[in-house]
């Protein structure tokens, strides 16, 4: 029973264009969402997060949008660069106790072509 879903295993984008990575969740108790980026042979690194009280959070080229009614979030990367090529994980956190632990999606591999 997958609570956090990244339905696109891979995405290929041209350099300079927008990359949009999507994530859906099923648990309405999730109230904090994070995106992590992972290069091969390295640990995931935190990219950006959003609280459920917001619908948008921006950090440089990275913007996360949250649609609570649809239980959907997306990560926009504009403009995309070859160095953005990595696996991106969406994660969600519930409220309190062990619910505070992160639930990760399976990841989307982004390839940015020069």
Contact positions vs another protein (CB under 8 A): 6, 31-32, 34, 36, 41-46, 49, 51, 89, 91, 93, 95, 98, 100-102, 104-107
The CB-of-35 to another protein minimum distance in angstroms stands at: 10
The CB-of-38 to another protein minimum distance in angstroms stands at: 8
Find, among 51, 62, 48, the residue nearest to 90 by Cα: 48
CA dihedral 90, 82, 109, 104 (to 10 degrees): -20
**Peptide bond between residue 79 and the one before it cis (omega within 30 degrees of 0):** yes
The CB-of-46 to another protein minimum distance in angstroms stands at: 4
Find, among 103, 93, 91, 89, the residue nearest to 32 by Cα: 93
Of 67 and 95, CB closest to another protein: 95
Please give the Cα distance from 66 to 64 (Å, whole number): 7
Of 20 and 48, CB closest to another protein: 48
Of 36 and 112, CB closest to another protein: 36
The CB-of-9 to another protein minimum distance in angstroms stands at: 9
């Amino acid at each position: 029973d997958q609570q956090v879903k990244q339905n696109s295993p891979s995405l290929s984008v041209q350099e300079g264009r927008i990359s949009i990575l999507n994530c859906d969740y099923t648990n309405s108790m999730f109230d904090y969402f994070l995106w992590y980026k992972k290069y091969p042979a390295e640990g995931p690194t935190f990219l950006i997060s959003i609280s459920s009280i917001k619908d948008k959070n921006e950090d440089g080229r990275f913007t996360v949008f949250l649609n609570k009614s649809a239980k959907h979030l997306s990560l926009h990367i504009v403009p995309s660069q070859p160095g953005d090529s990595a696996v991106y994980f969406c994660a969600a956190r519930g409220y309190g106790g062990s619910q505070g632990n992160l639930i990760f999606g399976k990841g989307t591999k982004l390839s940015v072509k020069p």
